[in-house]
A and B are shown apart, each in its own frame.
Chain A
Amino acid sequence: MSWAETLRTGLAAIRTHGLRSTLTVLGILIGIAAVILTVGLGLGTQKDVSEQISSLGSNLLIVTPGSSLSLEGLRGGFGTRPTLTRDDAEALASSVNTPDVAGVAPEKSTSLSLETSQTNWTTTVVGTTEDWPSVRGRTLSSGSFFTAADDAAAAAVVVLGSSTATELFGTTDVVGQSVTISDVTFTVVGVLADAGASDSTDLDDMAVIPLTTASQQVIGGRDRNSLTTVYVQAASTEQLSAAYQETETLLLNLHGISSADSADFTINSQDALVSTATAVYRTLTVLLTGIAALSLLVGGIGVMNIMLVSVTERTREIGLRKALGAPPWAIRRQFLAEAAVLGLAGGVLGAVLGILAARVLPDLLDTSIVVSGLAVGGSVVVAIGIGLTFGVYPATRAARLAPIDALRSE
Chain B
Amino acid sequence: MAEALAAQVRSASVGTEPVIELVGAGKTYRTGAIEFEALREVDLRIGAGEYVAVVGPSGSGKSTLMHLIGCLDTLTVGSYRLAGEDISELTEVELARIRNHRIGFVFQQFHLLPSLSAWRNVELPMLYGRVPPGERRERAVDALERVGLGDKLHNRPGELSGGQQQRVAVARALVGEPDLLLADEPTGNLDSASTADVLALLDELNGQGRTIVLITHEPDVAAHADRVVRVLDGQVRSDEPSAGRRAGAR
| A residues apposed to B, CB below 8 Å | 1, 5, 9, 12-13, 16, 316-317, 320-330, 402-405, 407
Contact = CB atoms under 8 A, between A and B. Distances in A.
Given A323-B72, A327-B96, 7 more contacts: A325-B97, A326-B127, A326-B128, A327-B128, A403-B72, A404-B73, A407-B72
Given A324-B100, A328-B92, A404 B124 contact: no
Most chain B CB within a 10 A radius of its CB, from A9, A323, A329: A323
B113 interface: yes
Contact of A317 (B67, B107, B113): B113
Contacts of A326: 96, 100, 127-128
B39 to A, nearest CB: 13
B40 to A, nearest CB: 18
24 contacts: A1-B127, A1-B128, A5-B127, A16-B115, A321-B124, A323-B105, A323-B111, A324-B125, A324-B172, A325-B101, A325-B125, A325-B129, A326-B127, A327-B96, A327-B97, A328-B93, A330-B128, A402-B72, A402-B73, A403-B73, A404-B67, A404-B73, A405-B73, A407-B72
Contacts of B129: 325
A238 to B, nearest CB: 72
A16 B111 CA distance: 18
A320 B93 contact: no
B81 interface: no
Contacts of A5: 127, 133
Contacts of A323: 70, 72, 99, 105, 107, 111
B211 to A, nearest CB: 18
A84 to B, nearest CB: 79
B189 interface: no
Contacts of B115: 12-13, 16
A330 B74 CA distance: 21
Contacts of B116: 12
Contacts of B92: 327-328
Chain A CB within 10 A, most for which of B67, B105, B127: B127
Nearest to A405: B73
Query: Size band of the B side of the interface?
Result: 20 to 34
B74 to A, nearest CB: 6
Given A327-B92, A328-B96, A402-B73, A316 B101 contact: no
Nearest to B133: A5
A9 B115 CA distance: 11
Greatest chain B CB density within 10 A among A325, A327, A405 is at A325
Which 9 pairs between the two chains have the least Cβ-Cβ distance? Answer: A325-B100, A327-B96, A16-B115, A404-B72, A404-B73, A325-B128, A324-B125, A325-B99, A403-B72
A317 B101 CA distance: 20
A402 B70 CA distance: 12
Interface in B85-108: 92-93, 96-97, 99-101, 105, 107
Contacts of B124: 320-321, 324
A226 to B, nearest CB: 81
A21 to B, nearest CB: 13
Contact of A316 (B67, B72, B111): B111
Contacts of B113: 317, 320
A403 B72 CA distance: 5
Nearest to A320: B111
Nearest to B109: A407
Contacts of A327: 92-93, 96-97, 128
Contacts of B128: 1, 321, 324-327, 330
A327 B124 CA distance: 13
A407 to B, nearest CB: 6
A402 B107 CA distance: 16
A330 B176 CA distance: 18
Contacts of A322: 96, 99
Contacts of B172: 324
A337 B116 CA distance: 18
Which of A13, A16, A320, A329 counts the most chain B CB atoms within 10 A? A320
